[in-house]
Amino acid sequence: MYIYLLSRQVSAHLPPERERRERERMEGRQSLRLLLLFVSVALILLFTWVNLPSRLPDTAELVDCDASSPWCASSKNRFQPKQRQPPTTNIENPRPRPRRHSHVFDTPRHPLDPLTIQELNRVRTLLLSHPLFANGAPYALHSVVLEEPDKLSVLAWRKGDPFPRKASVVARVAGESHLLTVDLDSGRVTEQGAAPLSGYPTMTMEDMTTATLAPLADPEFNRTVLARGVDLADLACLPISSGWYGPAEESRRLIKVQCYSMKDTANFYMRPIEGLTVLLDLDTKRVVEITDKGRDIPIPKAANTDYRYSQFDQNRQAYRMINPISIEQPKGPSFTVEDEHLVKWANWEFHAKPDPRAGVIISRARVRDSESGELRDVMYKGFTSELFVPYMDPTDAWYFKTYMDAGEYGFGLQAMPLDPLNDCPRNAYFMDGVFPAGDGTPYVRSGMVCIYESYAGDIGWRHSESPITGMEIREVRPKVTLVVRMAASVANYDYIVDWEFQTDGLIRVKVGLSGILMVKGSPYANVNDVPGREDLYGTLLSENVIGVIHDHYVTFHLDMDVDGADNSFVNVNIRKQETSPGESPRRSYLKAVRNVAKTEKDARVKLKLYDPSEFHVVNTNKKTRVGNPVGYKVVPAGTAASLLSHDDPPQKRAAFTNNQIWVTPYNRTEQWAGGLFTYQSQGEDTLAVWSERDRPIENKDIVVWYTLGFHHIPCQEDFPIMPTVSASFDLKPVNFFESNPILRIPPNTENDLPVCKPAASA
């Protein structure tokens, strides 16, 4: 969801006496309304185009340095990344920011590089000259992304070789959806094929904007808002995807709009106008239905809802629990970013790019073998395929809140610029996204991805010898990792997605949840006021505010190519084995039973604590010195499983969450777990449907799908804004290397590090 703050004059369609009173009141506030209108437009532009980082701590808060140390970063000696120089930080300008880059003259250097501004402009020109668009019918471009070359071509490509450039386009023209390919070399535009049986493409930013503005053209809506005691100038509305619940919702794009009061707070999410829902036709922008079933529910008060640092009482002492902390790199970063997208760090090399639907895509991930020096394939492509967020309230104003944040809203479209020193440390490299608007005009989403080295005091490996051996051995190596981060603010919720690369060959994929709860207005101010049998569907967080129970599922597409494309999926089941009488003093032990999945159905996995397994992706054509097939394993971490009925309409659309692991044969058309057209789909084009074909997957080019899950029962600590909650899973080498791949890395010594002292003692 994307939000827009609304400010409009009241419609003239009110009863005469009410109209007169409103006109007199408004005439005295005309200048204020103009100011609010200006601010609203500015905010829209800010969210949609600019998204500048918010407050940064001054560098003076971080560290002062010993004059004898030439390496310690200071306001006069700031580390500058080689590839992307931010403005020089000095006393007059103490806040480092990512360098602004126009991208106007960007040219692709790699076959997987995203479309450039020049290419997007050419796509738009070619499309508008095509007969489909030439008759002047209304149109919108819902997706314009690189149509990647076939996999074999990319694998065979070497730097300097030519490569084709094509755009894959999803367009709606005169109310019909079209899949198009634009060949940027020849200028040819061709239809890709038929659109999916149901559903609509990802909403454009313009869809979301107009959806929130359209209700204000309806006099009944205006009367209803005023009757609730909310000034239209204080209105903030959300475009809420409606899901699919039967034939009545077919044949037209529908969206539901719900509104809040932003009076006296930036956190309007905590002030819902409960029970007021507008059903809107997204194509005509006309109100289909207004439902108002919450007139007896007060709008929660604004007190204690604002979370901005600037709005805290400046007369009170700052709540500083820890001193500022920073990681210094006296010799500069260990990673480089070539040609804007090719990342090289330690023993890793991979391609990273922003994407309007997935957020960020990691491709061609390869790790260098410490013994042979060879770059070895690990993963061809990995990205966030879909997010499913169902709320557990079946009432009229809530049952439809079952969001698909990637397919409906665009996970990357909702990615906000990252905040230097807070989202990312000062050693970060920032990457921009270049996306098209609904009319095809390109714009830049600045600093939406950051790449940085992280060290949190973790240990790569260690061993200290016991004194009883007489050997004084203490060997320890620090664990430094490389992180690729993006954060999407899908209206109230913030999702932080990290791809973390470790020198031992492990890839950790981590998802953090923060932001603001979607809450429900309530007539109750205390749990003691609630009648015993009434279900609140959540937790009373504050007076008249309920945090509704909900789930989050984040499904990842992992095209594994472990030492080549032909891989197999092995379920290594850990079973109890009982000993025979007289065999051993032991009664039982554990053994590993390997089961190679022959087809897709063999590879479906529901995680069970008391039926444990390891999940290996192996290349049986490549063996280690002692004969083990090389591989990587999926290591699940804290997760949750969907408990919804399989015939529940939201779960039909989100059937990809029925299992935590799926394996399918590689198919370039099967990338989005919820289907290509997710909006109002009926669930006939999902990962679960593809898997029903039960295709062979042994010794094939396979894709692993993994779903991270969260059950969220809100608590008062989540009010008015949530502390981050995280979960992750790992892709870990298993017999991939001949031995410990980081055995030879040296330990740190005092001479390697800068000598710094706290500012108070400087």
Catalytic sites, residue numbers: 405, 493
Place of tokens 């023993």: 347
* Of the candidates 515, 510, 509, the residue with the CA atom closest to the CA atom of residue 550: 515
How far apart (Å, rounded) are the C-alpha atoms in residues 513 and 493? 7
Cα four-point dihedral sign 198, 202, 206, 209: positive
3-class SS at 219?
helix
731 forms bridges with which residues in the sheet? 507, 634
Half-sphere exposure in the Cβ direction for 228 (13 Å, CA): 29
* Of the candidates 604, 574, 578, the residue with the CA atom closest to the CA atom of residue 592: 574
Greatest distance between any 2 Cα atoms in the chain: 99
560 forms bridges with which residues in the sheet? 379
Between CA 346 and CA 354, with CA 352 as vertex, the angle to 5 degrees is 150
How far apart (Å, rounded) are the C-alpha atoms in residues 113 and 351? 8
How far apart (Å, rounded) are the C-alpha atoms in residues 292 and 315? 43
Half-sphere exposure in the Cβ direction for 667 (13 Å, CA): 14
Which string of DSSP letters, residue by residue, matches 518-530? Answer: -EEE-S-SSGGGS
Long-range contacts from 343-351, C-beta under 8 angstroms, 24+ separation: 343/451, 343/482, 343/484, 345/453, 345/482, 345/501, 346/480, 346/482, 346/501, 346/503, 347/503, 347/505, 347/741, 348/482, 348/501, 348/503, 349/375, 350/501, 351/110, 351/112
Residue 38's CB: how many other CB atoms inside 10 A? 11
Between CA 562 and CA 566, with CA 563 as vertex, the angle to 5 degrees is 70
Category of 489 on φ-ψ map: left (φ > 0), alpha (ψ -120 to 50) or beta? beta
574 forms bridges with which residues in the sheet? 592
Helix (H) or strand (E) holding 42: helix 30-45
How far apart (Å, rounded) are the C-alpha atoms in residues 244 and 713? 25
* Of the candidates 313, 339, 5, the residue with the CA atom closest to the CA atom of residue 159: 339
Cα four-point dihedral sign 356, 358, 362, 363: negative
The residue type found at 172 is R
How far CA 91 is from CA of 73, 74, 98, 126, 511, in Å, comes to: 13, 10, 18, 50, 36
Non-local CB neighbours of 214 within 8 Å, separated by 6+ positions: 257, 280, 285, 286, 287
Buried b (16+ CB within 10 A) or exposed e, 270-308: bbbbbbbbbbbebbeeebeebebebeebebbbbeebbbe
**DSSP H helical ranges for 594-707:** 649-653, 687-691
How far apart (Å, rounded) are the C-alpha atoms in residues 257 and 74? 50
Cα four-point dihedral sign 21, 521, 241, 490: positive
